[in-house]
Structure 1
Amino acid sequence: MKVSERPESQEQSSAGDVVPGVGSERGPLSRRALMRAGLKAAPIVMTLKTDMVLATTTSGSTVRPSAFSSFVANGFRCSAGPAKSGKATGKFLTRDQCKSLVVTTTMYFKYKYHSYSEGWNGCGFVKPSVRFSGCSTDNPKLDWIIRTLNPQNDRDRLGLYCAMAYMAAKYYGDAECFITEANCRTIWKNNGVWTVGGVQRDLAWTLAYFNQVYGANAFDACLKGA
């Protein structure tokens, strides 16, 4: 059965409703048609926006734990590029930066031990139940953890990450650091267990997050669209 063509009077709008110079071989498109096309595209744009994870990797910054939660739930996909405003959110220190700072008197890093209460001689962490690999004491100086520790297991890695994160929180302050000083202590004391976004996270999640922060590629692969 052949479908008859619509009458020409139904195909075109009034002269005042036509956008000159825009259309196909069949003639110009009306403003109503353009509006309808725009509305049809809107749900697609909205769908893409729900698939985005905002993250910045300006110099000296990384992704906060809450953003990482979305990043993981989203299949490790990210659509945001490096920030260009120059404003860094979630600042952190690389291990090389920590190695440099820990031998100076900056923030008293040089004299601090892993344990004891917060102050001149301590970082406020509790003593680990086991010693770090290659360490002769259960209360090493921050200097030894940062410069010497070669992680051999999850406990070693967690200790190194917490020490580096602690230094960043002290150096930049909780408001600008990618993680707070209190969170560093909580993570260490509870062996990687803490709460992010109202959800309790375990050691595996915590190490995955820190690996993404301090890994060779950090969040670059995500931000480059890989």
Structure 2
Amino acid sequence: MMHITIWNENRHEQKNPEVKEIYPEGIHGQLKSFLEGAHTVTTATLDEPEHGLTDEVLKKTDVLLWWGHLAHEEVSDEVVEKVRQRVLEGMGLIVLHSAHFSKIFKVLMGTSCDLKWREADETERLWVVDPSHPITEGIGEYIELEREEMYGEHFDIPAPDQLVFLSWFEGGEVFRSGCTYQRGNGRIFYFRPGHETYPTYHNDKVQRVIQNAVEWAAPLSRPRPIYGNAPSIEEIKPKN
């Protein structure tokens, strides 16, 4: 059984009654509801000391889920660096929806992670473009969401190690909506849907993708490679 930590900035739920109605326990509470049981799940939010991501919490976390939107800049650079180091050591990271603009995702990608967007209550169809990938298990050919926020290309990210989902929107745009990366010993999955005013995280197939992603991102039982100046393995004989 893994230890999962769900991080949510938890601001929309406090400011917007519509979001509170959809997610009465917060987005983090909804994510926890379908992940707990199979795993030990705890939550952390922006306004807790150290954003709830203390050294003790991060040390025991196998996979970290991250949702943010309004307050990316309020996240401490010190905490971001601690999370980055844990990813490099092997902790899995699942980056959800508007967390594409989070400090942690941008520092791990090394790009702006910018994109086009529109809120117009339009249909999104997420096509499975890598049916062999374990994150797609149990999904079928696509996921259709009746209403979602549009994200459109160009999405300023590095080319994914694996492109798992490609979204089409009613207004005509497409978007790389399920992307995997490896950084150090850690695995990262970016998953696009999840706008706060839509009940996306109540969708069974969206839940299945996130459940699959948590399993895929599980850390390996191996130490991080050693870097820097290294002694020779074999004897180096003097050259004449």
Which is richer in strand? 2
What TM-score do you get using the length of structure 1 for normalisation? 0.23
What TM-score do you get using the length of structure 2 for normalisation? 0.22
- Which structure has the higher relative contact order (CA within 8 Å, separation 6+)? 2
